[in-house]
Amino acid sequence: METQNELLKSIDRQTKLLSSKQITLILAFAGVYVLWGSTYFAIKILVHSVPVFLMAAARFLIAGSIMLVWGKLSNQILPDKTQIKNAAVSGFILLVLGNGTMLFANSYISSSGVIAVVVAITPLWMVLLQWLWNKGTQPTLAIWTGIALGIMGMYFLAGPKNMPSLGEGSWIGILLVVAGTIFWAIGTIYSKGAIMPESSIYTSAVQMLSASASMFIFGTLSGDWQQLNFAVYGWSEGLSFLYLIIGGSVLGFTSYSYITKNAPAASVSTYAYVNPVIALFIGWWIGHEIISNQTMLACGLLLAGVVLIVVKPKMELKIKD
């Protein structure tokens, strides 16, 4: 009788733990969807007046330092040398090669909404790279259908009839964003396979601090210090920068690190479909931008793709002869 009671208690504890993890995962996905989707508007405000690389370097330095203090105060498990090295490498791929390339694309593309839309192709690279790196696996039909719907949505959103005038040299910016999405997919898959810190907080801290160091170097080499002029910055730039630190980096990137560890790659990549929708909504709500019927159709296709990928996230194993 005592053994049976202990078994029931153990099952009850496991059920509560599972439920807690599910809730945390849902909140983490919501954080990545909403917080990152809204950062495009904040970046749009900053990028035309603040040097790109120094802005990113300062953002990651402050956010990474906050994460270190947070990890210490919450008694998180300290990472070892291997975990620190892997987190630093993933941070360089994700935040410098991935995010940094997309930031630099703002120099060529005037609309941050278009950048958010192009980022929606990230899941395609996720699936293809995971398929190539894991021989003998193939995505399910549902995942391919979700990817196809997402790409269709991206086409309607950024097609010739719906794309605003981007200015001279915009094709360079689009190519930069595409390159950034490939690097981001590589960094995400690397993070899932590498031995990372047990604490998502310390993972984010190491990733952001390593990226900050690289961004400071790039900013110095590109002459960002000469372009820095605090006299022209107002409340909008200050609040946008603060939002990028707290919302985009501390909360958003920590949420992303958590779902990278605890969700399939195909599900993780769905943020790239939702972020453009959030970015469009923020632009309509705060920036008073007009959303056309074609844009609404595109959003519907994007969300349909998300549903398919989230509902059927597992990879189907094919046994070769």
Q: Could you tell me the pTM of the whole model?
A: 0.77
Q: What is the DSSP string of 174-205?
A: HHHHHHHHHHHHHHHHHHHHS---S-HHHHHH
The pLDDT, as a whole number, for residue 179 is: 92
Q: Report residue 263's pLDDT band, with 50, 70 and 90 as the boundaries.
A: confident
- Say what percent of the chain tops pLDDT 90: 19
Is 54's pLDDT higher than 60? yes
Any alpha helices (H) in the chain, and if so which ranges? 2-47, 52-73, 81-91, 100-105, 112-118, 122-133, 141-158, 170-193, 200-221, 224-227, 235-243, 254-262, 265-268, 271-285, 293-311
- Look at 193 and 265; give whichever has higher pLDDT: 193
* Residue pLDDT, tens place only, 79-101: 999 999 999 999 999 999 998 88
Greatest mean pLDDT among 140-144, 207-211, 281-285:
207-211
- Look at 12 and 177; give whichever has higher pLDDT: 177
The pLDDT, as a whole number, for residue 107 is: 74
Is 21's pLDDT higher than 70? yes
Greatest mean pLDDT among 108-112, 129-133, 219-223, 300-304:
219-223
Q: Report residue 180's pLDDT band, with 50, 70 and 90 as the boundaries.
A: very high
Is 264's pLDDT higher than 80? no
Q: Residues 204-217: what's their mean pLDDT?
A: 94
Cα–Cα dist 173/113, whole Å: 13
Greatest mean pLDDT among 54-63, 142-151, 154-163:
54-63
